[in-house]
Amino acid sequence: MKHIFISASVGAEGMGNSNNSTQKNLEIDDNPLNKEERHALEAYYQNTFLHENLPSKEKFCCEFASTCYPQFGAACYHYITGNSNQLSFQLFMKFVINGARSNSTKTLQLVWDILAIDQKEQDDELEQQLRVDSFFLLLLELSGCDPEGIQVTAARLGQHVKKMTRRNDSNSMRITSRDLINWTNEYAPHAHKVFVSYINSKCFSAVELIGHVPFRSPILEGGSSVINQSDIVPLALYDITLQGRWKKLYTTQADGLSFNRIAHHILGYSVCLLPVSFDCC
């Protein structure tokens, strides 16, 4: 049996409030986009979504396609356009601002509401659990994670949310957006940056963004026989120092199973280490 453990701590438990939000708040007071960003967004909108000078739903769905959550493009379009079902630059800009130029809570709430578009009943417990699972599937895919292991990791994260938000007063497994946001604040404070980086990479690729630290998916340099990228993305969501390049310092297969070799390869390395063990006993 595999025993896989990672020597990294996680934060304290979060508290959940039952606060179903049905908002599709696209109202903004001030436009946080500067002149350069706005021009870039206009150019992107015109080049990407307009077909014969008319906005195309098909092009939009194609641009925001997702492998793990195939309905994502259509759900986004429906969320933005509402009952009018007609995309406009103003609506799209508001979507971008709420997704990529707001605080973490608004960004995550936006994603939750988009996922709710595809669900029939927001209050249904099963639908909410599916929405949580879909959230993590989307999160892992947009973080640049390899497809291998996404399903398992998403299920694991969903289980953790359910465990942490289990209510003492009932056997209900109802999870609200507030529960999910509280969970991300405690265990994945960089989760919203995945969505922000996703939108920035699409809409502002030609612009130098000042003050925006993108999410960098962790990369196992040289590969691993024990873990895959989807195993460590949750860690990168917790701590920014776990993003980016991971350098393999020691492996039994290349360096031998000996404490002398372990010591040789880790002594003198002045930053954090992360041992991962695979036990077949």
Partner 1 sequence: MPHGLGMGGSLEKFRLFIPDTLEDCVAHANCLTFESGSLLSPSNSSSPFDLSSPNSGAFSIDVLEIWGCGGEELVNEALTAQMKDRGDRDEMIRKARLVDKAAFANNMFDQEFLLPKNYSHKVRMADASCCEEDKAAAKATNIP
How many residues contact partner 1, by CB under 8 A? Answer: 57
Q: Does 129 bind partner 1 (CB under 8 A)?
A: no
- The answer to whether 88 contacts partner 1 (rule: CB under 8 A) is no
Give the pair of three-digit tokens for residue 219: 């990369």
The smaller minimum CB distance to partner 1, of residues 11 and 82, is found at: 11
Q: Does residue 212 bind partner 1 (CB under 8 A)? A: no
Return the CA Rg of the chain. Answer: 21
Closest CA to 156 of 75, 237, 64: 237
DSSP 222: T
Our CB check for partner 1 shows the closer of 50 and 227 to be 227
Query: Which amino acid is located at 252 in the chain?
Result: T
Of 85 and 258, which CB lies nearer to partner 1 in the complex structure? 258
Nearest distance from C-beta of residue 160 to partner 1, angstroms: 7
Shortest gap between Cβ of 95 and partner 1 (angstroms)?
31
Pairwise CA distance, residues 222 & 220, whole Å:
6
**93 or 188, CB closer to partner 1?**
188
Q: Does 280 bind partner 1 (CB under 8 A)?
A: yes
Residue 258 in contact with partner 1, rule: CB under 8 A = yes
What would the 3-class secondary structure string for 99-143 be? HHCCCHHHHHHHHHHHHHHCCCCCCCHHHHHHHHHHHHHHHHHHC
Contacting residue, 22, 84, 90, 270, with partner 1 by CB under 8 A: 270
Among 52, 169, 171, 245, binds partner 1 (CB under 8 A): 245
Q: Does 259 bind partner 1 (CB under 8 A)?
A: yes
Residue 238 Rama label (left phi>0; alpha psi -120 to 50; beta):
alpha
State the helix-helix crossing angle for 229-238 and 125-142, rounded to 10 degrees.
Answer: 100
Shortest separation between residue 218's beta carbon and partner 1, angstroms: 7
Nearer to partner 1, 39 or 212 (CB): 212
The interface region with partner 1, picked from 10-18, 36-44, 90-98, 170-178 by CB under 8 A, is 10-18
Q: DSSP characters for 182-213? A: HHHHHH-TTHHHHHHHHHHHHHSTTS--SS--
Contacts of 24 (CB under 8 A, 6+ apart): 79, 82, 113
Sign, CA dihedral 254-228-203-183, equals negative
46 touches partner 1 by CB under 8 A: no
Q: Does 120 bind partner 1 (CB under 8 A)?
A: no
- In the complex with partner 1, the residue whose CB is nearer, 114 or 161, is 161
Near partner 1 in 159-188, by CB under 8 A: 159-160, 163
Residues that bind partner 1 (CB under 8 A): 1-5, 7, 9-12, 152, 155-156, 159-160, 163, 218, 220, 224-227, 240-253, 257-259, 262, 265-281
